[in-house]
Chain A
Amino acid sequence: MTIKFMKNAKIWLVTGASQGLGLSLVKKLLESGHKVAATTRNIKSIENEVGPRSAFFLPLAVDVTSQAEVHQAVNQVVAHFGTIDVLVNNAGYGQTGAVAELTDKEIRQVFDVNFFSQINFIREVMPILKEKNSGHIFNIGSIGGYTGEFPGLGIYSATKFAISGMTEALSVEGKAFGVKVTLVYPGGFRTNFFEPTSIKNPVKPLEDYSTVHTAQAQMQSHSGSQEGDPDKFSDVLIGVSEMKNPPVHLFLGTDAYEIAHEKAKKVQEELQKFKSLSISTGFEVTE
């Protein structure tokens, strides 16, 4: 792969980089001359796809759920590149199953990878960005982090909702230090998300939720034909990282756009419907 020399190359740290959106982003970044540290569980895989470690590219095997490994990884990135400019919290996977079907262990596991890992990286990278009074954090959420309407993905949605709430607060907390924060809500993108190699199914499915399983299977049957192009996702992120006033909330995909609008409308309607109840809860104010 030819690498352009870029005057203002930024140093990016991308998690979950061995496939899907993460891999596409790493490749696009390197193609446009940026420097990239990429975390993965499988170093060989990413080296096959991208190439070996170089002055521009640092692949790291990291268990993102381990605070200690994340700490070490960030140190290695700084040792290699001198600093970090952009963090992309992308690592995550899909977990299917009705809310009541998943065990406590399965629930904690998907929160571990999808949510707590983001905090691990933020804890390590924020001080670096704050010190420079600059930098950008992209937390990759999901349209499922704005609506929980997707059948059999409720717990996955919960992890993405958590990212949404956390990132809203982070964006305000970072503002005081010149750190930009963007919450990305991708719709369906053509990755391995629904493939057996990536997605996890309940270890103890319950017969009673067969309608959920059917709806889920229907959704999964579209794997490989999702409308979203990972390369265009990457182009957008790179473009947004150059903006003076980037969005805080960034939905990606026509499906995400439409679904977000619908959800907002639904909530607005319910707000109206129960308005008189909602505003009736104050203590009587005595003159």
Chain B
Amino acid sequence: MCLSRLVSVGALFFKIPVRGINFINLSNMKDNKIWLITGASQGLGLILAKTLLQNGYRVAGSARDLPAIEVALGSKTDSFLPIVIALGDEHTIQLAVQQTLDHFGRIDVLVNNAGYGQSGTIEELDDQEVRNNFSVNVFGLLNVTRAVLPVMRRQNSGHIFNLSAIGGFSAGYPGLGIYAATKFAVAGLSEALSEEVKPFGIKVTIVYPGFFRTSFLSTGSLQVAKNLNPAYLPVHQAQHEMRRSMDGKQFGDPEKLAGILIAMSENPDPALHLFLGVDAMQVASDKIKSLQAELTKWKKTTISTSFDA
């Protein structure tokens, strides 16, 4: 067998770093955590699922239909369960969670990864486009979270990774404001969720990736506004240029992101806010600095609104 396969197999029995990522001793696969990943048929979700399976973890991976997930990851095995989730349909989610429990007995890690990008200025997008982005990226995420939490609460353990985006921390650029709003919302609700589920031994991490080399920017994934307003031509041009120059050339390595999430899931004190990518770190840092500066600049106004003593 080829070298990489040998290394993968060897990693099951020894502490061998795979592609620079150290894994814990995986010889006792019975104890390996069970992950449920939404949006596992492409992008970060797919790469995460593959990395997990290669390293002896067990995975339930979802897509909108069975063929999509089976084409990506194969059919059911002892360590992999393809599941179907329509994010807006709570029945499919309940069923998928039940199937996961029937197959694996528990759910240790939930990765709320399913989501898509919507480009277009605030004014350009129609009501349906705005609501759809929220339906998937926010309400769908909440639907899945609500279905899995009771399982984790009974276990008194679990870890939820909610995929936000660097655009969910800083959105000061044109043409992605609604997508950014969905990712801001994910961050906000996750902060609250993190406090609320602590008593149950459940951990929450908000993941803010920068640009990673997936199909996110491709025409199939990043939705374009149906009604382009000619007044925003410069924005359209800038976005077109961004896609042209970045699609397929993003700096972030999804396999490394996967490795970090896996390591974080084994960390007894995981991050609440996890920015991934040099770009994400820079943008986050810049946003905090500029916000602090604005806070300072307007301090007198800010603190002027109290009732007189």
Interface residues on B, range: 35 or more
The residues of A that contact B260 with a CB separation of less than 8 Å are 277, 280-281
Interface hub of A99, A116, A152 (most chain B Cβ within 10 A): A99
A169-B180, A252-B305 known; A99+B256 contact, CB < 8 A: no
The answer to whether B303 touches A278 (Cβ under 8 A) is: no
- Interface SS majority for chain B: helix
Of B34-42, B62-70, B103-111, B291-299, which binds chain A? Answer: B291-299
Q: How far is the CA of A260 from the CA of B303 in the complex (A)?
A: 12
CB distance from A146 to the nearest CB of B (A): 9
8 Å CB contact of A253 from B232, B284, B302 = B302
On chain B, the residues within 8 Å of A186 by CB distance are 305
A247 touching B185 by the CB < 8 A rule? no
Q: A104-B143, A227-B306, A228-B306 are in contact. Are A173 and B175 (CB under 8 A)?
A: yes
CB-CB nearest in chain B for A163: B181
A104 touches B191 (CB 8 A): no
B127, B170, B263, B305 interface centre (most CB from chain A within 10 Å): B305
- Flag if B298 contacts A158 (CB, 8 Å): no
Considering the complex, which residues of chain B in the window 262-301 have a beta carbon less than 8 Å from any beta carbon of chain A? Answer: 263, 271-278, 280-281, 284-285, 288, 291-292, 294-295, 297-299, 301
Which one of B8-16, B73-81, B130-138, B215-223 is at the interface?
B130-138
A88-131 with Cβ < 8 A to chain B? 98-100, 102, 104, 107-108, 111, 115-116, 119-120, 122-123, 126-127, 130
The contact of A168 among B180, B197, B288, B295, by CB within 8 Å, is B180
Asked if B134 and A111 sit within 8 Å, CB to CB, the answer is yes
Is B114 interfacial (CB 8 A cutoff)?
no
Q: Tell me if A219 is interfacial: C-beta within 8 Å of chain B.
A: no
User: B190 to nearest A CB, angstroms?
Assistant: 7
Closest Cβ–Cβ distance, residue B77 to chain A (whole Å):
29
Cβ contacts under 8 Å, A280 to chain B: 256, 260
Decide yes or no whether B246 CB sits under 8 A from chain A. Answer: no
Instruction: For B200, list chain A residues within 8 Å (CB).
Output: 208
Q: Does B116 contact A (CB under 8 A)?
A: no
Q: Are A281 and B285 in contact (CB under 8 A)?
A: no
Complex Cα–Cα for A252 and B299 (A): 9
Query: CA–CA, A123 to B257, complex, Å?
Result: 38
In whole Å, how far is B291's beta carbon from the nearest beta carbon of chain A? 6
Q: Give the residue name and chain of the B residue nearest to A208 (CB).
A: B153
Does B241 reach chain A (CB closer than 8 Å)? no
> B23 — which chain A residues lie within 8 A by C-beta?
none
Q: Is the CB of A279 within 8 A of B196?
A: no
| Residue contact A157 to B306, C-beta cutoff 8 Å | no
Could you tell me if B280 and A278 are in contact, using CB atoms closer than 8 angstroms? yes
Q: Which of A146-188 contact B (CB under 8 A)?
A: 147-155, 157-166, 168-173, 176-177, 186
CB of A119 within 8 A of CB of B130, answer yes
Instruction: Please report the total number of A residues contacting B with Cβ < 8 Å.
Output: 89
Query: Are B142 and A148 in contact, with the CB atoms below 8 A?
Result: no
A264 CB contact (under 8 Å) in B272, B280, B288: B288
**B199 an interface residue at 8 Å Cβ cutoff?**
yes
| B33 within 8 Å of A (CB atoms) | no
Selected interface stretch from A10-18, A40-48, A193-201, A266-274: A266-274
B43 within 8 A of A: no
Chain A residue with the shortest CB-CB distance to B172: A168
Q: Which residues of chain B come closer than 8 Å to A279, judged between CB atoms?
A: 277-278, 281
Q: Say yes or no: is B72 at the interface (Cβ < 8 Å to chain A).
A: no
A-B pairs under 8 A by CB, number: 269
- Contact yes or no, B182 A162, CB < 8 A: yes
On chain A, the residues within 8 Å of B284 by CB distance are: 267, 271
Neighbouring A residues of B212 by C-beta, 8 Å: 281
Among A147, A209, A240, point to the contact of B196 (Cβ < 8 A).
A209
User: Quick one: given A154-B196, A228-B305, A279-B281, are A170 and B177 in contact (CB under 8 Å)?
Assistant: yes
A78 at the interface (CB under 8 A from B): no
Residues of A within 8 A of B149 (CB): 100
CB A138 to nearest CB in B, in angstroms, measures 14
**B224 proximal to A (CB < 8 A):** no
A165 adjacent to B181 (CB under 8 Å)? yes
Chain A positions within 8 Å of B, measured between CB atoms, are 67, 98-100, 102, 104, 107-108, 111, 115-116, 119-120, 122-123, 126-127, 130, 144-145, 147-155, 157-166, 168-173, 176-177, 186, 189-190, 208-209, 211-212, 227-229, 232-233, 236, 239-240, 247-254, 256-257, 260-261, 264, 267-268, 270-271, 273-275, 277-283
**27 CB < 8 A contacts A-B:** A100-B193, A102-B142, A104-B142, A148-B189, A148-B191, A158-B188, A161-B187, A163-B181, A172-B172, A173-B232, A208-B200, A229-B306, A250-B298, A251-B298, A252-B301, A260-B295, A264-B295, A267-B273, A271-B273, A271-B281, A274-B271, A278-B277, A278-B278, A281-B278, A282-B256, A283-B213, A283-B251
Given A212-B196, A270-B272, A283-B252, 14 new contacts (CB under 8 A): A116-B131, A119-B178, A151-B196, A154-B193, A154-B196, A162-B181, A164-B184, A209-B196, A260-B295, A261-B292, A274-B275, A281-B277, A282-B253, A282-B277
Contact residues of B with A, CB < 8 Å? Answer: 90, 121-123, 125, 127, 130-131, 134, 138-139, 142-143, 145-146, 149, 153, 167-168, 170-178, 180-193, 195-197, 199-200, 212-213, 231-232, 234-235, 251-253, 256-257, 260, 263, 271-278, 280-281, 284-285, 288, 291-292, 294-295, 297-299, 301-308
